[in-house]
Amino acid sequence: MKKFITRFKKLRIWRDTKGQDLIEYALMAGFVAIAAGAVMPSVSSRISTIFSKVNSQLAAAAAQGSGS
């Protein structure tokens, strides 16, 4: 068990933070969009359209990346 823990600590998973900032900014943008939609109902349909477009682009990119 000690060998497993030592190998686990040597992995660079815990030190790798390359994509962390991008994810944080994306989450903040999503929260701001949701808050804006809640405060200003007239904008909510536009926000929904934007999220739908982003979702379709991500789905298309995932399909290309997986080779399908």
Q: Distance between CA 36 and CA 43 in Å, rounded?
A: 7
Q: How confident is the model at residue 20 (pLDDT cuts 50, 70, 90)?
A: confident
Whether residue 68 is predicted with pLDDT greater than 60 in this model: the reply is no
Q: How confident is the model at residue 24 (pLDDT cuts 50, 70, 90)?
A: confident
Whether residue 15 is predicted with pLDDT greater than 80 in this model: the reply is no
Domain ranges of the chain: 2-65
> Which SS3 state, helix, strand or coil, does residue 30 take?
helix
Whether residue 17 is predicted with pLDDT greater than 80 in this model: the reply is no
Q: Would you say the pTM of this structure is higher than 0.75? A: no
Residue with tokens 């007239």: 42
Give the type of residue at 12: R
